Structure 1
Amino acid sequence: MTQLPKFLTGDSAALNEFLDKFDVFLLDCDGVLWSGDHLFEGIVETLEFLRSRGKRLVFVTNNSTKSRPDYQKKLTALGIPSDVEEIFASAYSSAIYISRILKLPAPKNKVFVIGESGIESELRTEGVPFIGGTDPALRRDITPEDFSGLADGSLLDPDVGIVLAGLDFHINYLKLAMGFQYIQRGAKFLATNLDSTLPMNHTFFPGAGSISVPLVNMTGQTPLAFGKPSQAMMDAIEGKFKLDRARTCMVGDRLNTDIQFGIQGGLGGTLAVLTGVSKKEHWEAKDAVAVPAYYVDKLSDLRGATP
């Protein structure tokens, strides 16, 4: 039987013992620090407290709609001091993989983006050519001419070798049809992450995984994904920050991404918070996808540790 997590809230001695085990905390954002644009109470003070204890913080998010500089602006606006190099997002992870690992030879190295400006910004920083994304020309209904152009290929860019799907607030039939045709013609199918939902404003909305599902259904292919729990993302984080996995803890609200990410990555520990997606009954279930090592009601409970 899988051992259930240790509850730390309100237990000063257990909190101190927990904090002493780790040098680095990988922090999920949505559902842990905030929900949408609502910052959870006590977060700024909690992050300051962790830094005062000598802990290194890395903000690890699956949300691909923002680039790292965009995320830093959000953190700053919420009163959270940060450095852009402390931020690791799925859009950045995807761009790094495409440019430095996949390295498709020109000219068949262009990316068709289904997603928002965060993906575009990170691809641009890495010098990766792309089309689609926020292009206003694709924010419309499909026409009979489009069907003809997609069927004979005249509407397609012959240099596209990758379809990268992320959260897209303007998803439509035309974009899905174009992505499908590119994949049918041999383009590699990638996804920033496979989150089914997005926590926002104290409820949930469709996530990036919901955007790629139609393409999975159409093509029969599962995309290579770069968000949590992808170990390609963990390897990239380890390489960038030179962290000791045994002294690193993943903090998150979602079992099938955050907690599974930390467990599969062989980290020293995982901490679940109850301010987001997963609840106690999810890891207590017989078919739980992952079980955290520790949990708290909310991240600010960590301040219950005595100096």
Structure 2
Amino acid sequence: MAATSLDGKKGKISTFIDSIDTFLFDCDGVIWSGSHVIDHVREVLKTLRQKGKRLLFVTNNSTKSRQAYAKKFASLGIDASAEEIFGSSYAAAYYVANFLKFPKDKKVYVVGMAGVQEELASEGVASVGGESDIENLGSMDEMGTIQPDPSIGAVLLGFDLNINYKKLAKAFTYLHSNPDCHFLATNSDSTFPAGKSIYPGTGALLAALTTPLGRQPTVLGKPHQTMLDVIVAKYHLDKEKTCMIGDRLDTDIEFGINGGLKTLLVMTGVTTPEGLAASKVQPDYCISSLGHLEA
């Protein structure tokens, strides 16, 4: 069934907003594009707050913690608290602490950036690796220094600008030597947009482990339902009165559909009108911009 367009339809917009208690927003392509806030988005968010709606900002970007994201929102003049931000790094940390009931004597080995380790620490989970393993191996002779470590209870991979062979070799060794070691990933996006181009995403990095291990991780980001399970558990959401708003069909909209949420696609990001028309994944609603969601 094709999406219902809300463009220019004040009555339908008002009815739609009244039917929703909680809005989940993707960020890049929905709230902002690069360092530019999309026109009239600030006003729409303010109006939704005035109507008593709960706003949560849900992103697959694992490089920043909630606190770091809150600073970005503030720098863009958008009202958002750290408690309203739900990145894949926090989803992973919450999952480790509250779903896995991670033992206090175990550590998580991180392939990723500062946001992942900051969020693990916020949930009281010990971690190693990450930015401390930026220096790569100096030679093949150093390979023997990488050995199984029974204190590692999980390997968590997120996007990593400083990915290197040392990190991958450690992650592989901990997982290969211990079948009980949890294998987790913040997301599995094959690409990510930056500037006016796209580049390999976390899913591409994951392939370096899944291929030799023959094992798939538990993925915490959209569209995987583990992330929604974490959000629902933390915020006690009523799915029937929750809407996912995003710009990507294969992550945001599929995430909402699979989770039994209402879905709204905006056309200010990845998806084109042609792409929407050709896709089997169809949102409940579409609108040219979040900035047009004014009842």
TM-score (norm 2): 0.93
Q: 1:106 to 1:21 in 2, by over 3 A?
A: closer
CA distance in 2, matches of 1:124, 1:302: 37
CA contact (8 A) 2:134 2:162 kept: no
Aligned residues: 293
Aligned with 1:251 (options 239, 245, 255): 245
Where do 5+ consecutive residues of structure 1 fail to align? Answer: none
Aligned-pair CA distance for 1:66: 0.8
Taking the aligned partners of 1:205 and 1:40, their CA distance within structure 2 comes to 23
Segment drifting more, 195-204 vs 171-180: 195-204
1:300 is displaced (CA, Å) by 0.4
Shift of 1:57: 0.7
Give the alignment partner of residue 208 of structure 2, picking from 206, 214, 217. 214
Cα distance between partner residues in 1 of 2:210 and 2:4: 38
- Is 1:296 matched with 2:287? yes
Q: Tell me which residue corresponds to 1:139.
A: 135
Identical-pair percentage: 45
Structure 1: which amino acid aligns with 2:271? S
Q: Are 1:242 and 2:236 an aligned pair?
A: yes
Query: Larger deviation: 273-282 or 185-194?
Result: 273-282
Q: Is 2:110–2:128's contact at 8 Å kept on the other side of the alignment?
A: yes
**In structure 2, what residue type is equivalent to 1:176?**
L
Who is 2:94 aligned against? Answer: 96
* Match among 55, 62, 65 for residue 63 of structure 2: 65
Alignment partner, residue 275 of structure 1: 268
1:281 maps to a residue whose letter is E
Q: Distance in 1 between matches of 2:5 and 2:196?
A: 24
1:40 maps to: 38
Provide, for residues 251-295 of structure 1, a one-character-per-residue CA deviation record: whole Å limited to 9, x for no partner.
01111211111111111x100111222223334336x3x211111
- Of 12-21 and 22-31, more deviation after overlay is shown by 12-21
Shift of 1:20: 2.0
What amino acid is the match of 1:64? S
SS at match of 2:293: helix
Query: Structure 1 residues 214, 41: CA separation in 2 closer, same or farther (over 3 Å shift)?
Result: same
Q: Alpha carbon RMSD of aligned pairs, Å? A: 1.8
The letter for the 2-side match of 1:121 is E
Equivalent residue runs for 1:1-307 within 5 Å:
3-105=1-103, 107=105, 109-135=106-132, 137-150=133-146, 153=147, 156-186=148-178, 187-267=181-261, 269-285=262-278, 288=280, 290-303=281-294, 305=295
CA distance in 1, matches of 2:240, 2:229: 14
Contact preservation (8 Å) 2:61, 2:87? yes
The alpha-carbon distance between structure 1 residues 146 and 18, as it changes in their structure 2 partners (threshold 3 A), is same
Structure 1 175/21 Cα, relative in aligned 2: closer, same or farther at 3 Å?
A: same
| Structure 1 SS opposite 2:131 | coil
- State the alpha-carbon separation in 2 of the partners of residues 36 and 141 from structure 1: 35
Q: Aligned with 2:254: secondary structure?
A: helix
How much does 1:205 deviate?
Answer: 2.8
Q: Give the whole-Å Cα distance in 2 for the aligned partners of 1:119 and 1:148.
A: 27
Q: Which runs of 5+ in 2 are unaligned?
A: none
Cα distance in 1 for partners of 2:275, 2:233 equals 32
Amino acid at match of 2:107: K
**How does the TM-score come out when normalised to structure 1?**
0.89
Equivalent-residue separation in structure 2 for 1:222 and 1:35 (angstroms): 32
Q: SS where residue 62 of structure 2 aligns?
A: coil
Q: Which string of whole-angstrom CA distances, capped at 9 and with x for unpartnered residues, describes residues 104-139 of structure 1?
A: 4354x211101111101011111211111111x433
Query: In 2, distance between residues paired with 1:120 and 1:157?
Result: 19
Does the CA contact (< 8 Å) of 1:59 and 1:86 recur in 2? yes
- The whole-number CA distance in structure 1 between the counterparts of 2:141 and 2:149 is 16
The letter for the 2-side match of 1:226 is L
1:142, distance to aligned residue in structure 2 (A):
4.7
